[in-house]
């Protein structure tokens, strides 16, 4: 493949980590299909991505950082495959066991509880309405992890999620996750849907039993969670309105589930104007109040103040689109940066005036548990 020079595009071949079996640079499962890259990856900008995909008869895949001011990291692969997603059946546990970590940092995080308390006090003073605060947990390994096996566990345990693995440039790390949330998807004719989630509750120890059903019903009746969800929907609707010919957002949310959590979700549908792409739509609403807060600018500043790490791609977008701009972008959630000797897990919670530091710490522990289970480690 010839090297492209337009707008300083550069071609690079990502080298896989030295593990027992090679692993793709980009894999994402949406519904019953998995998209996998092959061969060299050509780095592109948002402005040149579709043009390059058309020229190479390929697609665009990549990541958008949480910070909306930062550029996307996008590639056009030399080739790609679309396959039926592995049938996980009814599996709830991964088939691979990993060595115990030599140490785990961040299970208890007093700084996080303090940040929640400070944010609630500022909200009660009228400074802002909501902020999403996140924390990390890092497991260190003397015996190396097999990267392919980690992703295999993830897909087995999360058969209904948007699972993904992306090799991070100039690093031995892979960003992996099992997102429950579709940010934006388009099809031919500009038809789109987005399915934001906001408001959550931990499921019972036996999902599907009476206690579990009651937890879901309580979430649906929760004034705090319903108000938080409505804020997200109103924000998305106002941001999409200038870009759309049609826009429909149901007035009442639905209950959604992952193996660990109940969520409130609303499926918003419509038709985009002109020749806007799925990434254009996703960028218009990113970051939503569900992953950032309101007002957005104040929430972004508060996140930078309270969090002791750079989110990078956590809370950002992962996805792909064809040369016509149609594709899917999911939120980077329930995720970790994984290398052979370290795994850093990320999770956040929406903080509002009624939030309690201990409860939010427990909620993030539950969310960290999605990837913790993949590795076989406790997050509490």
Q: What angle do CA 348, 95, 337 make, to 5 degrees?
A: 35
Cβ atoms 177, 332 nearer than 8 A? yes
Nearest to 76 by CA among 47, 45, 53, 46: 53
Whether 130 sits among the annotated catalytic residues: the reply is yes
Spatial distance between the Cα atoms of 166 and 26, rounded to a whole number of angstroms: 5
62: left (phi over 0), alpha (psi -120 to 50) or beta: left
Cβ atoms 193, 328 nearer than 8 A? no
Q: What angle do CA 192, 216, 359 make, to 5 degrees?
A: 100
Pairing of strands 244-248, 197-202: unpaired
Cβ atoms 367, 115 nearer than 8 A? no
Cβ atoms 90, 35 nearer than 8 A? no
For 223, residues 6+ apart whose C-beta sits below 8 A from its C-beta are none
Cβ atoms 326, 152 nearer than 8 A? no
Catalytic residue among 167, 173, 181, 373: 181
The three-state secondary structure class of 122 is helix
Catalytic residue among 130, 185, 367, 373: 130
Query: So which residues are the catalytic ones?
Result: 130, 181
């Amino acid at each position: 493949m010839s090297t492209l020079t337009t707008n300083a595009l550069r071609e690079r071949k990502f080298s896989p980590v030295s593990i027992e079996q090679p692993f793709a640079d980009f894999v994402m499962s949406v519904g019953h299909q998995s998209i996998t890259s092959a061969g060299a990856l050509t780095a592109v900008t948002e402005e040149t991505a579709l043009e390059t995909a058309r020229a190479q008869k390929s697609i665009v895949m990549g990541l958008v950082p949480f910070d909306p001011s930062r550029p996307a990291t996008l590639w056009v692969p030399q080739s790609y495959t679309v396959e039926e997603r592995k049938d996980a059946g009814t599996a709830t546990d991964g088939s691979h066991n990993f060595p115990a970590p030599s140490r785990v940092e961040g299970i208890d995080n007093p700084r996080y509880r303090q940040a929640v308390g400070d944010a609630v006090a500022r909200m009660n003073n009228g400074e802002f309405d909501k902020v999403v605060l996140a924390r990390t947990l890092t497991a260190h390994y003397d015996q190396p992890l097999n990267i392919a096996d980690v992703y295999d566990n993830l897909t087995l345990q999360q058969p209904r999620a948007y699972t993904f693995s992306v090799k991070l440039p100039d690093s031995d790390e892979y960003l992996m996750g099992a997102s429950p949330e579709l940010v934006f998807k388009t099809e031919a004719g500009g038809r789109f849907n987005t399915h934001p989630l906001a408001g959550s509750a931990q499921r019972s120890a036996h999902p599907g039993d009476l206690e579990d059903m009651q937890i879901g019903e309580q979430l649906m009746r929760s004034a705090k969670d319903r108000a938080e969800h409505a804020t997200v929907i109103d924000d998305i609707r106002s941001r999409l309105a200038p870009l759309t010919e049609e826009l429909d957002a149901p007035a009442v949310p639905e209950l959604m589930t992952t193996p660990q959590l109940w969520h409130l979700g609303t499926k918003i549908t419509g038709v985009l104007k002109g020749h806007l792409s799925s990434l254009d739509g996703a960028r218009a609403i990113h970051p939503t109040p569900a992953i950032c807060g309101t007002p957005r600018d104040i929430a972004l500043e508060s996140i930078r103040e309270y969090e002791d790490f750079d989110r990078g791609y956590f809370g950002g977008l992962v996805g792909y689109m064809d040369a016509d701009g149609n594709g899917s972008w999911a939120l980077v959630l329930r995720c970790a940066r994984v290398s052979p000797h370290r795994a850093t897990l990320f999770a956040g919670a929406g903080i509002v005036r009624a939030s309690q530091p201990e409860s939010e710490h427990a909620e993030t522990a539950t969310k960290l548990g999605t990837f913790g289970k993949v590795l076989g480690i406790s997050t509490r």
